[in-house]
């Protein structure tokens, strides 16, 4: 069977960007599908303040239910995503955000991986360059070329004899 490498890549990408869907029990009536999608995206990326590592949609704690209700109400009132995040941020602090803000305290978090990647890249490039140098030795010096000529001449004469 011939495998399509693109298919594999696509599958990997789909896995990488999939989010586990949790079944929040409470349902809210939204006027549009867009509002509902925004609500779902928000409760997926906001963190339950009572739990150490669960988002609002995945948590059964009463505080998460309250916050889901708050988010739903704010979405229904026509508040923007940023406004809703700001509202919760002002009350619960940065803990509530699973996607941390870009600020000096989070620079390492945001730019550290890219820096590490560049570092790794530099190491790889250096290693590859050094490998090349080993594979392709420096051209012969004039002395060496003369010696080579002498040797090959000597070998030639021997084979004639």
Residues at the contact surface with other proteins, assessed by CB under 8 A: 49-50, 52, 62-63, 66-67, 70, 89-95
Q: Closest CB to other proteins among 93 and 113?
A: 93
Q: Closest CB to other proteins among 60 and 66?
A: 66
Q: Closest CB to other proteins among 63 and 81?
A: 63
* Other residues' Cβ atoms within 10 Å of the Cβ of residue 49: 18
Rounded to a whole number of angstroms, the minimum distance from the CB of residue 78 to other proteins is: 19
Report the phi/psi class of residue 76: left, alpha or beta, with left for phi > 0 and alpha for psi in -120 to 50: alpha
Backbone φ and ψ of 79, nearest 5°: -75, 150
Residue spans of beta strands (DSSP E) within the chain: none
Using a 10 angstrom Cβ sphere, with 0-12 exposed, 13-18 middle and 19 or more buried, the burial of residue 87 is: middle
Rounded to a whole number of angstroms, the minimum distance from the CB of residue 67 to other proteins is: 7
Would you say 84 and 42 are in contact if contact means Cβ atoms under 8 Å apart?
A: yes
Rounded to a whole number of angstroms, the minimum distance from the CB of residue 141 to other proteins is: 27
Q: Closest CB to other proteins among 43 and 145?
A: 43
Rounded to a whole number of angstroms, the minimum distance from the CB of residue 139 to other proteins is: 26
């Amino acid at each position: 069977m011939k495998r399509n490498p693109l298919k594999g890549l696509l599958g990997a990408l789909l896995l990488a960007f999939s989010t586990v869907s949790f079944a929040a029990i409470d349902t809210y009536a939204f006027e549009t599908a867009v509002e509902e999608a925004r609500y779902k995206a928000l409760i997926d990326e906001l963190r339950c303040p009572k739990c150490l590592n669960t988002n609002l949609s995945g948590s059964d704690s009463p505080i998460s239910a309250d916050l889901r209700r708050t988010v739903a109400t704010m979405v229904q009132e026509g508040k923007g995503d940023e406004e809703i995040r700001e509202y919760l941020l002002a009350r619960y602090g940065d803990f509530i955000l699973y996607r941390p803000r870009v600020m000096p305290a989070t620079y390492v978090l945001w730019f550290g991986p890219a820096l590490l990647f560049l570092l790794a890249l530099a190491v790889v490039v250096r290693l590859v360059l050094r490998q090349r140098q080993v594979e392709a030795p420096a051209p012969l010096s004039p002395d060496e070329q003369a010696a080579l000529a002498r040797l090959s001449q000597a070998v030639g004469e021997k084979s004639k004899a």
